[in-house]
Amino acid sequence: MKYKMNLYEVYQQQKKRSKAFNPNVVLVLFLLTIALCIGATGSYLTWMKATLDKENIELNDYLSKLTLGEDYAYVLKAQKDIEAFERLTQALNEVNTVFEAKQSFGSRQLKLIYQLKPSSITIDLIKLEGAVITISVRSKEASSFASFVVSLKQAGEFLDASFPGYQMSNGNLYNSVISLTLKGEY
């Protein structure tokens, strides 16, 4: 608790404070602050420049390295390969679409061929070329070829069934080739 009054002490304290806030002192402090700010900014910019220069040198070094060209060629080749693979994949996808849509040649067609074959005909060879099944046959009766082709056509399993004719060999045996076209899109 303060039990003494002294206005002179208050006056001296205020005087001290006002001395501390002397305009000249304030100006000097202000100028010092500005100088410090400029110095700090200059130092920062110098440091930044040094850092950027270092980075620039590193980048130039990196770019000037020989391996970079090789790496670039490798990347280009890889890119071409990727493009080729993409094209192949696209083609395969198209083929797959065809394969999915086409009718396949299997045991059902073979079974049908053997079921419809007249007993007088002997099958020597069955060959599949694309969608065409070529059957080499022989018989003692020339007319059996035509009835066999008609039966195959009527079965509805094949798109087309034909034979160009027949040939005689070994006196009493006739040879012919029957062509069957499978159904489906190729």
Partner 1 sequence: MECVVEIREHALLFLSGKYTRGKFDVAHKFRIDSDESLIVKGDFSFNTQLLDEVKKQLKSKKMKMRKVKVIVNHRSIVTRDLIVPYVDKRKMSLMIEHEMYNIYHLSRDYLVDYRVIQEQKKSRKVKQVQVIASAISSKFIQSLELFFDKNRMSIVSIETAASSVMNLIEKQKVIKNPEPSVVVELNSSYIRSFIYDNYAFQIARTVYIQEEISEVAVDRLVQVLDILSQAYSGKTGKYLKNVMLIGKVEYLPLLQSHYTKESQLEINLINLNHFLVRKQPELMEYASCLGVVL
Q: How far is the CB of 26 from partner 1 (least distance, A)?
A: 18
Give the bridge partners for 166, in sequence order: 176
Among 112, 122, 124, CA closest to 182: 112
Total residues in contact with partner 1, by rule CB under 8 A: 12
Task: Return the number of other C-beta atoms located less than 10 Å from residue 158's C-beta.
Answer: 22
> Residue 20 or residue 125: which is nearer to partner 1 going by CB?
20
**Mask: binding to partner 1, 3-42, rule CB under 8 A, as x and -?**
xxxxxxxxx--x----------------------------
Q: How far is the CB of 9 from partner 1 (least distance, A)?
A: 7
Q: Could you give the angle at the alpha carbon of 130 between the alpha carbons of 158 and 159, nearest 5°?
A: 15
Q: How far is the CB of 25 from partner 1 (least distance, A)?
A: 20
Give the bridge partners for 177, in sequence order: 136
Q: Could you give the angle at the alpha carbon of 28 between the alpha carbons of 27 and 30, nearest 5°?
A: 60
> Residue 4 or residue 129: which is nearer to partner 1 going by CB?
4
Token pair listed for 81? 């390969």
> Residue 7 or residue 63: which is nearer to partner 1 going by CB?
7
Question: Given the rule CB under 8 A, which residues bind partner 1?
Answer: 1-11, 14
